[in-house]
């Protein structure tokens, strides 16, 4: 008997009929003798509807109250799933995040999990129940409800799996695994049977929407085997067949890992580039610019500081487009008056394309092939960033799909890689 966590996204919980299918699938696992904890998202579109109501009342609602409102979506879906399981003859009990409790910090709308009390969960499992824990939410030290931000249900599921020592965390979604790139952009994209945590972490951070980055961080830190698979398959399919489907996110040293130099192409359309021209080239200038941005809780991605000319330099960086206007406000209010700059240049029509693969550590010429491929397509590179297992470039967003298709072909990602010997 295994201890398994199931996570179901908003599409999987999107209607009463789909909730019934989730209940049938969970009941199948329970009947096979497994202990099951389920972490559901709100029904598809419900969180947006709730937040939209709040913003009809105020353009900038209080974060604490937004979390109190948004958290109700998962509570509804959890209660409905418990009822659906009971209708299948399965004992089930649902809990809100604050009832477990999932403890977080007080960063409303983007809180981080600090600990999970598994006492109630284990007590119910020992009594033969399926336990349902709301995703996306928790409670801070003051007892206030918090939410984890977009994609937070993935994070909740992996964190719960880590806290209870689950054998595996199954992320059920509307896609059947992790692909070499988005099949909507490249029809030849191939589903990967196995991908390393390290590669998945890079892909999630670089724009892949399959898993939320913090969920992958949890999985890697606590070594929770995690599988991405489809909830749209027959819920009564045999368990052994279900466990062979999807993509297993595992450890690099696993002998089953595919031997590919580049495993996937990730991309993000949500980029904005900001350049400060002619700032003083002196020690501490990067901190003087980015310190106030970080203090405003804005994440910076790619950074380039140019060569010094006559004692000044140009400083460029990228942020998520959702943070673009707030970043400009911070620069104009706190940075430019303090450090000076001849001009502030912005560009919201940019995109990031990245190649990812643990094989890049031991192969030369990978980045060179990427640059050559883009050059042959007439695509100019504006910024570059690298790590051991990825190379990212910033380009004009009108060339994004062309770049992804060209790189996917250049690295033979439509072909099955040879297994490790």
Q: Strand, helix or coil at 107?
A: coil
- Indicate if 215 and 312 belong to the same structural domain: no
Question: Same domain for 169 and 300?
Answer: no
Residue 372: give the domain boundaries: 264-410
Whether residue 343 is contained in a domain is answered as yes
Is residue 258 a part of any domain in this protein? Answer: no
Mean pLDDT confidence for 81-103: 97
Instruction: Write down the pLDDT at residue 261.
Output: 86
Domain CATH number, residue 162:
3.40.1160.10
Same domain, 155 and 278: no
pLDDT at res. 421: 47
**233 and 242 Cβ atoms separated by less than 8 Å:** yes
Tell me what pLDDT residue 418 has.
Answer: 58
104 part of a folded domain: yes
Q: Domain boundary at 250, 285, 311, which?
A: 250
Let me know if 189 is exposed, middle or buried by CB neighbors in 10 A (0-12, 13-18, 19+): buried
The alpha carbon dihedral of 214, 394, 109, 147 has a sign of negative
- At which of 222, 250, 278 does a domain end? 250
Q: What is the mean pLDDT of residues 255-283?
A: 85
Strand 312-320, strand 264-280: pairing: antiparallel
CATH at 344? 3.30.2130.10
DSSP code of 307? P
Q: Where are the beta strands (DSSP E) in 194-325?
A: 194-196, 226-230, 247-250, 264-280, 300-305, 312-320
Average pLDDT on 386-414 reads 94
Say yes or no to pLDDT of 123 above 60.
yes
Per-residue pLDDT of 170-208, as tens digits, reads 999 888 888 999 988 999 999 988 888 888 888 877 766
CB 315 within 8 A of CB 275: yes
Per residue in 329-381, pLDDT (tens digit) is 999 999 999 998 899 999 999 999 999 998 888 888 999 999 999 999 999 99
Could you tell me what percentage of the chain is helix, strand and coil, using 3-state DSSP and rounding each to the nearest 5? 40, 25, 35
What region, left, alpha or beta, does residue 338 occupy, with left being phi > 0 and alpha being psi -120 to 50 degrees? alpha
Cis, bond preceding 101 (omega within 30 deg of 0): yes
Which residue matches tokens 């996570």?
7
53: three-class secondary structure by DSSP: helix
Residue that finishes a domain, picked among 250, 278, 294: 250
Whether 421 is covered by a domain: the verdict is: no
DSSP β-bridge partners for residue 419? 258
Per the structure block, which two tokens stand in for 316? 């460029």
What is the phi/psi pair of residue 6, to 5°?
Answer: -105, 135
Are residue 183 and residue 231 in the same domain, yes or no?
A: yes
Query: Residue 337: CB partners within 8 Å, gap ≥ 6?
Result: none
DSSP 334: I
| Of 55-59, 162-166, 246-250, minimum mean pLDDT range | 246-250
Same domain, 80 and 185: yes
Asked whether residue 225 falls in the same domain as residue 276, the answer is no
Contact between 207 and 265 under an 8 Å Cβ cutoff? The reply is no
Same domain, 237 and 367: no
Separation CA 368–CA 106 (nearest Å):
45
Indicate whether 16 and 128 sit together in one domain.
yes
Residue 420: inside a domain: no
Residues 401, 338: one domain? yes
Residue 418 forms part of a structural domain: no
The pLDDT value given to residue 259: 56
Cα 236 to Cα 26: distance, rounded to the nearest angstrom:
10
Q: Looking at residue 403, what is its pLDDT?
A: 97
User: Contact, 61 vs 55, CB < 8 A?
Assistant: yes
The answer to whether residue 259 is domain-embedded is no
Q: What is the pLDDT of residue 252?
A: 56
pTM of the predicted structure, to 2 decimals: 0.80
Residues 12 and 129 in one domain: yes
Q: Compute CA distances 335 → 2, 200, 398, whole Å.
A: 54, 35, 31
Domain match, 268 and 224 both: no
Q: Check whether 296 has a pLDDT greater than 90.
A: yes
- Residue 419 counted as domain residue: no
The answer on 314 and 237 residing in a single domain is no
> How confident is the model over 289-295, as a mean pLDDT?
96
* Angstrom distance (rounded) from CA 409 to CA 149: 35
> Given pLDDT bands bounded at 50, 70 and 90, which one contains residue 256?
very low
The number of domains in the chain is 2
**Which one has a higher pLDDT value, 36 or 60?**
36
């Amino acid at each position: 008997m295994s201890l398994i966590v199931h996570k179901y996204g908003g599409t999987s919980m999107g209607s009463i009929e789909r909730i019934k299918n989730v209940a049938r699938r969970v009941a199948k696992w329970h009947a096979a003798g497994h202990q099951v904890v389920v972490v559901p998202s709100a029904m598809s579109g419900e969180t947006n509807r709730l937040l939209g109501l709040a913003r009809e009342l105020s353009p900038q609602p209080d974060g604490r109250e937004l979390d109190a409102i948004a958290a109700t979506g998962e509570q509804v879906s959890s209660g409905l799933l418990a009822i659906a399981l009971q209708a299948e003859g399965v004992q089930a009990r649902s809990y809100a995040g604050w009832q477990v409790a999932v403890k977080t910090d007080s960063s409303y709308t983007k809180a981080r999990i600090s600990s999970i009390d598994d006492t109630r969960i284990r007590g119910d499992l020992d009594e033969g129940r399926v336990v349902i824990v709301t995703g996306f939410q928790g409670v801070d030290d003051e007892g206030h409800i918090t939410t984890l931000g977009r994609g937070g249900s993935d994070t909740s599921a992996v964190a719960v799996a880590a806290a209870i020592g689950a054998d595996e965390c199954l992320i059920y979604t509307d896609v059947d695994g992790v692909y070499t790139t988005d099949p909507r952009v490249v029809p030849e994209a191939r589903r990967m049977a196995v991908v390393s945590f390290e590669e998945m972490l890079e892909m999630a951070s670089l724009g892949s929407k399959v898993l939320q980055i913090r969920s992958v961080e949890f999985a890697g830190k606590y070594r929770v085997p995690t599988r991405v698979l489809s909830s749209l398959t027959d819920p009564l399919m045999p368990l052994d067949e279900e466990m062979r489907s999807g993509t297993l996110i595992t450890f690099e040293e696993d002998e089953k890992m595919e031997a590919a130099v580049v495993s996937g192409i990730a991309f993000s359309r949500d980029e904005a580039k900001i350049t400060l021209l002619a700032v003083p080239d002196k020690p501490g200038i990067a901190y003087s610019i980015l310190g106030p941005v970080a203090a405003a809780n804005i994440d910076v991605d790619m950074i380039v500081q140019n060569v010094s000319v006559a004692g000044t330099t140009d400083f460029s960086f990228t942020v998520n487009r959702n943070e673009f206007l707030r970043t400009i406000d911070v620069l104009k209010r706190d940075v430019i008056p303090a450090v000076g700059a001849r001009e502030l240049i912005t560009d919201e029509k940019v995109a990031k394309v990245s190649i990812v693969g643990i094989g890049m550590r031991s192969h030369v010429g990978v980045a060179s092939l990427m640059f050559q491929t883009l050059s042959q397509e007439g695509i100019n590179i504006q910024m570059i960033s690298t790590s051991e297992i990825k190379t990212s470039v910033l380009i004009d967003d009108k060339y994004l799909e062309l770049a992804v298709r060209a790189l996917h072909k250049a690295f033979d990602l439509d072909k099955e890689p040879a297994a490790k010997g």
